[in-house]
Amino acid sequence: MGAPADRPWPGTEAEAVAEQERIRRAADLASPGPAPGEVDRIAGVDVAYDPGSDLTVAAAVVLDAATLEVVEEAVHTGRSRFPYVPGLLAFRELPGVLAALEKLSAPPGLVVCDGYGYAHPRRAGLAVHLGVLTGLPCFGVAKSPFAFSHTEPGPRRGDSSPLLDGRRDPPEVVGRALRTRSGVKPVFVSAGHGIGLEHACAHTLRLTPRHRLPETTRGADGLSRRVLAEIARDRREPRGAARG
């Protein structure tokens, strides 16, 4: 499917920034990508962290694009290779995400990341990075606008407004604030690799029939948290220990 999880990985911030510059140059930002109805399987990926250690659980949950039913799940448990640094989160999360995706029986037609894509200071957020490494169309749906500005979109589902980088003159559009539920705060969609913003927003609305966040994100977040909770429980109660 793509690069293995044990590929050489930057060890310093300077190396990571240089790698992001390479990733940005390699990203396909021109393709409109698949529209709703043109892919059969859509995956969501997310990572849960153990607050007491460097343990991480990465999850990939695949949905049937038509019914939004879960058709496959995979997880990978590992250790963080890279510290938390704002703007460099991909280097902390991607090894586990790549490993989880590799465990799927077949590549999904599209991947939705819980985070940013082009809406990143170096235009190389998690969705850009993952798309380049795997060759899969990827985009990001984030809960906050990160370092960018926007006007509040209209109150109805489907209303949107540009997400802008005001450091540029004129400001550059890096994504879109999108209302997925009427009267509920928007999410922030940005293209990643192999899919444009229009189709990314269309998929986001298709994936949010009942909730603010895409069903892909909700599935991956829930799975990673459940597995992490099971690991924590097993640490407290070793296998074979008497219960009750």
| pLDDT at position 242 | 44
223 residue type, one letter:
L
| pLDDT at position 152 | 97
CA pair distance 64, 86, nearest whole angstrom: 33
Could you report the average pLDDT of every consecutive run of 10 residues in the chain (244 residues)?
57 94 96 97 97 92 98 96 90 95 98 97 96 98 95 98 91 97 97 98 98 98 96 74 43
Domain extent at residue 136: 31-236
159 known member of a binding site: no
Q: Let me know if 73 is exposed, middle or buried by CB neighbors in 10 A (0-12, 13-18, 19+).
A: middle
Does residue 22 form part of some domain?
no
Does residue 17 form part of some domain?
no
Does residue 3 form part of some domain?
no
Asked whether the beta carbons of 80 and 93 are under 8 A apart, the reply is no
55-64 and 41-49 beta bridge pairing: antiparallel
Does residue 161 form part of some domain?
yes
Asked whether the beta carbons of 127 and 139 are under 8 A apart, the reply is yes
| pLDDT at position 63 | 98
- Compute the half-sphere exposure of residue 76: CA atoms within 13 Å on the CB side of its CA: 23
Asked whether the beta carbons of 50 and 56 are under 8 A apart, the reply is yes
CA pair distance 234, 215, nearest whole angstrom: 28
Q: Where are the alpha helices (DSSP H) in 27-125?
A: 89-102
| pLDDT at position 237 | 72
**CATH number for the domain including 72?**
3.30.2170.10
From residue 92, alpha-carbon distances to 14, 81, 113, 176 in Å are 15, 6, 14, 25
3-class DSSP state of 60: strand
- H/E stretch holding 74: strand 70-79
CA pair distance 139, 130, nearest whole angstrom: 9
| pLDDT at position 5 | 44
Structurally, the chain folds into a number of domains equal to: 1
Does residue 243 form part of some domain?
no
| pLDDT at position 105 | 97
Does residue 10 form part of some domain?
no
| pLDDT at position 244 | 37
Does residue 15 form part of some domain?
no
Asked whether the beta carbons of 146 and 140 are under 8 A apart, the reply is no
46 known member of a binding site: yes
Does residue 7 form part of some domain?
no
